């Protein structure tokens, strides 16, 4: 069985001092056996943390990247700039970027292609709104997002993050997660054939120290994408401890 993967998305939080303290607490508290662990600080903390995490079991991820290698894109960061710093994962298409930066499935797919080409592992996020779930359109929505956001021959990680569960303290129920995981796997295989069988699928949305063990034991859940709780060393270590 492949190891589960626990990804911490710090979003727009953390000064250098906060980041160092958090990472030091994580490194000091890691159990002897660990799942794959990725921490995704803001861009400004990547160089600092690359140094701190060198040789540790915690890999470094970014929260976004551009689709181009270089050029006239003020304020953007290219995949090559990330690998240059020792970053190995990148979150793409997070619902906050889709909402606040107007990112479309097409944009996310182009970024995933560029990230893969540069040697990064893309963690592509998809998820339905509360309205879409309540009106029963969630599976259609997720199916379209997979079709639009994942490149052919996708070899990265898919993160299922129901938008209504992100930062709300209201995680999806075990039944909802199990049913959606089953749908996502079938859809991946329908759209990508054999390759769809091996894509790792994470759950994200209000994962915390209390609910992590039950969420991580649901069939086909390959790990968790954790927002708020990843900013607290004790909570994040408990989630890491709940993974296999
Ligand atoms: C996220 O932002 O990806 C996320 C899952 O946040 P939270 O864990 O805070 O719901």
For ligand 1, whether the C-beta of 9 sits within 6 Å is yes
For ligand 1, whether the C-beta of 232 sits within 6 Å is no
CA of 15 to the centre of ligand 1 (A): 20
Which residues, other chains included, contact 238 with Cβ-Cβ below 8 Å and sequence gap of 6+?
209, 212
Q: What is the pLDDT along the chain (244 residues), one digit of tens a residue?
A: 689 999 999 999 999 999 999 999 999 999 999 999 999 999 999 999 999 999 999 999 999 999 999 999 999 999 999 999 999 999 999 999 999 999 999 999 999 999 999 999 999 999 999 999 999 999 999 999 999 999 998 999 999 999 999 999 999 999 999 999 999 999 999 999 999 999 999 999 999 999 999 999 999 999 999 999 999 999 999 999 999 9
CA of 72 to the centre of ligand 1 (A): 31
DSSP calls for 212-238: HHHHHTSTT--EEEESGGGGSHHHHHH
Give the ipTM.
Answer: 0.98
**CA-atom Rg of the chain in angstroms:** 17
**Catalytic positions, written as ranges:** 94, 161
Q: Give CA–CA dist 244/241, Å, rounded.
A: 8
Selection from 60, 19, 55 nearest residue 39 by Cα: 60
Residue 153 burial by Cβ neighbours in a 10 Å radius (0-12, 13-18, 19+): exposed
CB atoms closer than 10 angstroms to residue 203: 28
CATH class assigned to 5-242: alpha beta
| DSSP one-letter code for 37 | E
* pTM for this model (two decimals): 0.98
């Amino acid at each position: 069985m492949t190891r589960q993967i626990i990804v911490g998305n710090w979003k727009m939080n953390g000064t250098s001092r906060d980041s160092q303290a958090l990472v030091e607490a994580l490194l000091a508290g890691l159990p002897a056996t660990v799942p794959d662990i990725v921490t995704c600080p803001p861009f400004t903390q990547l160089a600092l943390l690359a140094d701190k995490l060198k040789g540790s079991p915690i890999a470094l991820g970014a929260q976004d990247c551009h689709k181009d290698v270089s050029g006239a894109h003020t304020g953007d960061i290219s995949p090559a700039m990330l690998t240059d710093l020792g970053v190995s994962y990148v979150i793409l298409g997070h619902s906050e970027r889709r909402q606040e930066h107007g990112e479309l499935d097409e944009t996310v797919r182009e970024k995933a292609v560029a990230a893969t080409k540069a040697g990064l592992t893309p963690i592509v996020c998809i998820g339905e709104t509360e309205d879409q779930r309540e009106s029963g359109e969630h599976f259609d929505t997720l199916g379209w997002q997979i079709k639009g956001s994942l490149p052919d021959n996708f070899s990265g990680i898919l993160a299922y993050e129901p938008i209504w569960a992100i930062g709300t303290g209201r995680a999806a129920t075990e039944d909802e997660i199990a049913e959606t995981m089953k749908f996502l796997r079938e859809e991946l295989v329908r759209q990508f054939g054999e390759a769809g069988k091996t894509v790792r699928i994470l759950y994200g949305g209000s994962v915390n120290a209390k609910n992590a063990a039950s969420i991580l034991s649901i069939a086909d859940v390959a790990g968790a994408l954790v927002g708020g709780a990843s900013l607290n060393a004790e909570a994040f270590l408990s989630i890491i401890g709940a993974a296999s």
